[in-house]
Amino acid sequence: MHTLTVSPAPTAASSPREGQSLGAGHPLSAGLTSDSALVRALQGYRPEHTPVWFMRQAGRSLPEYRELRSGTRMLEACATPELASEITLQPLRRHGVDAAVFFSDIVVPLSLVGVDVDIVPGRGPVFAQPIRSREDVVRCRAEFTPERLRAALDPIRDAVALTTAELGSTPLIGFAGAPFTLAAYLVEGGPSRDHLRARSLMHSDPETWRELLEWTADLSGVFLQAQVEAGASAVQLFDSWAGSLGAEDYRTHVAPASRRTLDAVRPYRYRDTELEGYTSLDRRVPIIHFAVGSGHLLEELAAVGVSALGVDWRTPLDEASRLLGDVLPLQGNINPAYLDAPQAVLETHLRDVLARGRRAPGHVLNLGHGVPPEADPTVLTRIVEFAHAHRA
């Protein structure tokens, strides 16, 4: 049995007290989700079947999502509790996955706090005022504070509460963007192929870079806190662009901020009835960290203090587990390219992923990246059925 990797005490001003308990009505404390396949796997146990969910399962690949979202902008949908909740629940009804993931976007905290950002269809997040100087960082930290965000989070809390009321024993995974990816978007002003401006700021003015990442880290931390307190049973920190960094740059200039974000939720514990095999350390909200193209960073990503590590399709799970000393549950890592393959070819790939995942102390089946918008939903449903038919 393996317990969570725990980092030092929280550093962010918004962090809860060490060992702070979630309320008795929280799905983990109430015993609704604490013994679920997902939570058990993230804690390093082997449930009856390998749990499965898909990054970006809630959204554009589903016709019911496209119909519901018609005429509503992305950020508006994320900030409308009834709409966000319904979108979160859609893939659970269709696919029978073992977890729902909260429908949101990594820039939602920035939008809620007042940053001028829009998600442009076909392009992604675009910022009206990119951050390019120390003065920009000072202005943002003074104006767009974590306290201001906390006061604007009622729509998120309401959406999570609505969702968990419907989910029952199925866990909800909270979601936030990692500080580096948020900072990269802010500095570039939008999507970028190489994030050169962001990486240049990192080296030309490391103090300004540190302050920028601490700010984004605190916003993401407050965003995760709101989801956990409202009912999320696990969280995932998603770093879209960390794979563009070398290990030393990540270790020196990025890891402290990611750790700072996760420190905001790490102290939460849940009160539960005694379950065989559980320890007190198990009663923390599980933390998943995933970064795209990060095979060379797995040890660095794990070192920020996580319960489980997401692995993209480029690194076989058994190799990732060996590299990490076989002590950390893993998530992944179906190659999205196989979603269009013949059923027999896909099933061969699934068997290989499941077999390699057995080396880790726990395994959550997922794609090695998000669901492509053109994916056939029936294929995702078949993957869930296949996983549920095979013992963990």
- Give catalytic residue positions: 56, 60, 69, 105, 185
| Amino acid code (one letter) for 265 | V
The answer on whether 185 is annotated among ligand-binding residues is yes
Q: Tell me if 142 is assigned to a ligand binding site.
A: no
On the CB side of 335, CA atoms within 13 Å amount to: 16
| Cα–Cα distance for residue pair 258/293, rounded to 1 Å | 17
Q: On the CB side of 183, how many CA atoms lie within 13 Å of its CA?
A: 29
Please indicate if the annotation marks 390 as binding a ligand: no
Do residues 359 and 2 make contact, with C-beta atoms less than 8 angstroms apart? no
Does the annotation list 20 as a binding residue?
no
Task: Show Cβ contacts of residue 56 under 8 Å, excluding neighbours closer than 6 positions.
Answer: 370, 371
- Residue 123 annotated as part of some ligand binding site: no
Cα separation, 1 vs 24, whole angstroms: 27
Angle between helices 206-230 and 154-167 (to 10 degrees): 40
CA distances from 13 to 7, 161, 215, 261, 304 (A): 16, 25, 11, 11, 18
Q: What letter does residue 295 receive in the DSSP assignment?
A: G
Nearest partner of 167 among 234, 231, 105, judged by Cα: 231
Annotation: binding site: 56-60, 105, 185, 240, 369
Annotated binding site for substrate: which residue ranges? 56-60, 105, 185, 240, 369
